[in-house]
Structure 1
Amino acid sequence: MSIAAWDSFLEEQDSWPVASRTEDSNNHTTTARDTLADTTFVKRKRMSREERRWQILQAAVKVIAVKGFWGMSLQDVSDELGITEAALYHYISSKDDLINMVLSECYDTPDADEYNAVTAAAVDADGHRAYYYPRYCLNIVLYNLQRPELVQLYSVLNGEALSPAHPAHSFFIGRHLRQWEMICSMNWLLPPGINEDQFYDLYTLAMSAMDGLQYRWLSDDSMSLLEQWISVSEIIFPEAQWRGFTDPSEYDPSNQRCLLPLTLSARG
């Protein structure tokens, strides 16, 4: 896609998180994305309750990403932390409680929502803020490149949670529509002719494609998730239709053009 603002993302791999790179900066050979190679947590004295709680969540992410919910035990998490299982119960009530904490506090977070939205918006001369959906999707990829261990956790649990007996079943079954409700609350700049029903289908297609690419990225160390997403974007958001609606850099504030008539909400 001929969007100059996107070219820089492919040219600046040295600034990417290590887990996101496809080449070693010294010898240009493929390196593995080992999302789980950190050492066991070192027990610290006088750790506050919130610090310890966050440490427990980090340890749980590491264990669950490898073993899944069914395969992990609370003893695995306490071993990772270097504490007793009894001590773990001071912070959680059960294994189900832990998985719900991980999903609600580590994956879908306000920080993630803000990161994805903040650079996907343009503000016109009248102060109206509108969002570019292709750039919003690109931001999701850029954010997930920074947290491969959580992408692995999400992928493992998403498959497991197909079973109604899984404690995260409701979370994953309802997640698509919960995210859509958030999307609907934002003011989107879309090409003429795209209505809300079509935008929902587009949202479903984009998120499904992203999930599939992330599965491949986790299993194939030679794959660049960013490059693959930009390539797929050319198909999902064809330039002939989306030119001017792809990235905030396409908006020229000097012409003082009002963006509201171009938004989905203005189409009723």
Structure 2
Amino acid sequence: MIDAWQQILDQQHQSSDSHRHTISSHEITVRDTTSGKRFVKRKRMSQEERHLQILSAATKILAVKGYWGMSLQDISDEIGISEAALYHYIDSKEDLLNMVLTENYDTTEASDFAAYNCAALDGDGHYVYYYPRYCLNTVLYNMQRPEMIQLFCVLSGEALNPDHPAHQFFTGRHMRHWEMVGSMSWMLPAGMNEEQFFDLFTLVSSAIDGLQQRWLADDSLDLLEEWLHFSDIVFPAHTWQGLYDPSEHDPSDTRCLLPYTIQER
């Protein structure tokens, strides 16, 4: 394990603020749009404020009850308006689900965070990316939003049913993510082709999803430490040495690295 990763693990253990909270039907927070408290009805609220209020309430309730268990009355009770008034802001229960998935769950935030600090700048000014660090960043980001992981687990399970309104969203999720990941300039081991990289991407995605489910169910599990142990197997040192993290790139190396990326092979 490289030193940069060990420092992340040490910092995680030292920070009491990073300890996740247990998710229950009484305590769920959602990104920056959720206060962690029940909403207090205000006499005047802008359209945008009401939209965010509804979005936060729906995300909290969906993470606990799922789509089939949630009612619009649940939402109206949570934010202190009538169900009839709720229809001034949404068209239907399905519309509310789509709003949560597109505006709160499936955003560019996660991808941007994962790409942050996983790139090195080569001598010609091109960015090349390091996949093990990208995966680590994905885990670090998701540790900050356990309520979204629970939302994913609940809804993706329900959406196995073809009649579920989010069925297409979840069945297409893997390939949508691959389209983005596959377009980036990755520094990968010599000999790895695009098909093999797709298989690796699928393995890693499945592993992270599985570890996160265990993490939600078991308070004693340290998700970061579990992932670092797992990554030692997925990214063995004899194959990935020098390709783990952009900190391994020698800044005095003035070569253009694009010919070494999978896209240029």
Query: Same fold judged by TM-score > 0.5?
Result: yes
TM-superposed CA distance for 1:84, in Å, is: 1.3
User: Which of these residues, 139, 147, 150, is aligned with residue 148 of structure 2?
Assistant: 150
Structure 1: unaligned runs, 5 residues or longer: 23-31
The whole-number CA distance in structure 2 between the counterparts of 1:145 and 1:237 is 21
Question: In structure 2, how many angstroms separate the alpha carbons of the residues matched to 1:264 and 1:168?
Answer: 33
1:68 aligned residue: 66
Residue from 39, 42, 52 that aligns with 1:41? 39
| Cα distance in 2, alignment partners of residues 133 and 88 from structure 1 | 44
Deviations 1:12-49 (A, max 9, x none): 1267584x527xxxxxxxxx523651331122343221
2:113 corresponds to 1:124: no
* Number of the residue aligned with 2:253: 255
User: How far does the alpha carbon of each residue in 1:234-256 deviate from its partner, in whole angstroms, 9 at most, with x for none?
Assistant: 11111110111111111111122
Q: Identify the range of structure 1 (41-50 vs 113-122) with the bigger mean alpha-carbon deviation.
A: 41-50
Cα contact 1:53–1:91 (8 A) shared by 2: yes
Contact kept? 1:116, 1:143, Cα under 8 Å: yes
Contact 1:17 1:145 in 2 (8 A): no
Aligned to 2:200: 202
Change in 2 beyond 3 A, CA 1:107/1:17: farther
> Is contact 1:191-1:241 (8 Å) kept?
yes
Secondary structure of the residue that 2:252 maps to in structure 1?
helix
Q: Within 1, Cα distance between the matches of 2:14 and 2:258?
A: 35
Q: Distance in 2 between matches of 1:15 and 1:56?
A: 36
* Shift of residue 183, structure 1, vs aligned partner: 0.9
2 CA distance for matches of 1:17 and 1:246?
A: 28
Deviation at 1:80, TM superposition (A): 1.2
- Pair 1:11 & 2:10 matched: yes
How far does residue 85 in structure 1 lie from its aligned partner after superposition? 1.1
Q: Is the Cα contact below 8 Å between 1:122 and 1:130 reproduced in 2?
A: yes
Q: Give the C-alpha shift of residue 82 in structure 1.
A: 1.5
Local SS of the residue matching 1:192 = coil
Partner-residue secondary structure (3-state), 1:130: strand
Q: Is the 8 A contact 2:122 2:253 kept in 1?
A: no
SS class of match (1:235):
helix
Q: Give me the TM-score of the superposition, normalised by structure 1.
A: 0.91
TM-score by length of 2: 0.92
How far apart, in 1, do the equivalents of 2:48 and 2:16 lie? 26
